[in-house]
């Protein structure tokens, strides 16, 4: 009798499993297939990204090599793709190199335009490009105080203000940089000499003079 109940119990379990499989079997198969496709797709994309990154590296290295050989035309050709892709990690480097090549070729207007374009970016390369912008342009904006180029940009802005006959504003920036003890020592030494000529009273105000 116990064996009969055991058989009935097994049949019931099998019947439940059959019904359950009919309900969710296709769904499970679909999910499994989807996971496989997603995995394959991810691997394909990852491989593609690696290939693109390698192509960009090769292009930049080719530009450097061509420039070292004096073949600026070939170097510019290698840089073309990189300078057209603002999302590339090589964009900033490529733009700076392009501007340098334009400058060396005597194309000052082209170099200035390249620097101005790069200066639109908010990253460190964009801020560095501002250091190379035309002195006749509007004063650069230093931006984030935590930027590694903040003090250089502030000094650059002060010089532009001086060139535009805005001495008080320029002196205020230079004095602020000089009295900031976190400013690099070479910069402070340079600013001390500048302020000694422009506005020595800004040094005397804190008892600092050019000895």
Interval 102-155: pLDDT, tens: 988 899 889 889 988 998 887 767 877 877 764 444 444 556 677 667 887 787
Domain end residue (candidates: 107, 134, 161): 134
Domain span at residue 80 reads 1-134
**Whether residues 52 and 118 fall in one domain:** yes
Cβ atoms of residues 135 and 163 within 8 Å: yes
- The count of structural domains within the chain is 2
Is the pTM of the predicted complex or chain greater than 0.75?
Answer: no
Provide the pLDDT for residue 161: 79
**Whether residues 152 and 107 fall in one domain:** no
Return the closest-CA partner of residue 202 out of 172, 161, 182, 157. Answer: 172
**Whether residues 144 and 155 fall in one domain:** yes
CATH at 124: 1.25.40
Give the pLDDT mean for 65-81.
Answer: 87
Domain end residue (candidates: 134, 163, 189): 134
**Whether residues 202 and 125 fall in one domain:** no
């Amino acid at each position: 009798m116990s064996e009969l109940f055991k058989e009935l119990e097994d049949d019931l379990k099998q019947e439940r499993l059959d019904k359950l499989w009919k309900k969710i079997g296709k769904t499970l198969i679909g999910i499994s297939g989807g996971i496989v496709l997603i995995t394959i797709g991810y691997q394909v994309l990852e491989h593609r990204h690696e290939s693109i990154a390698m192509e960009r590296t090769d292009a930049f290295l080719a530009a450097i090599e061509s420039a070292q050989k004096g073949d600026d035309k070939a170097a510019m050709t290698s840089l073309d793709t990189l300078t057209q892709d603002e999302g590339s990690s090589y964009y900033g480097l490529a733009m700076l190199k392009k501007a340098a090549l334009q400058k060396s070729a005597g194309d000052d207007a082209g170099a200035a335009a390249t620097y101005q374009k790069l200066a639109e970016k908010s990253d460190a390369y964009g801020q560095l490009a501002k250091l190379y912008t035309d002195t006749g342009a509007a004063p650069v904006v230093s931006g984030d105080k935590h930027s590694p180029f903040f003090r250089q940009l502030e000094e650059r802005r002060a010089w532009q203000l001086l060139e535009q006959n805005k001495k008080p504003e320029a002196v205020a920036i230079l004095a602020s940089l000089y009295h900031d003890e976190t400013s690099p020592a070479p910069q402070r030494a340079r600013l001390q000499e500048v302020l000694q000529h422009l506005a020595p009273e800004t040094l005397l105000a804190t008892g600092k003079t050019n000895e």
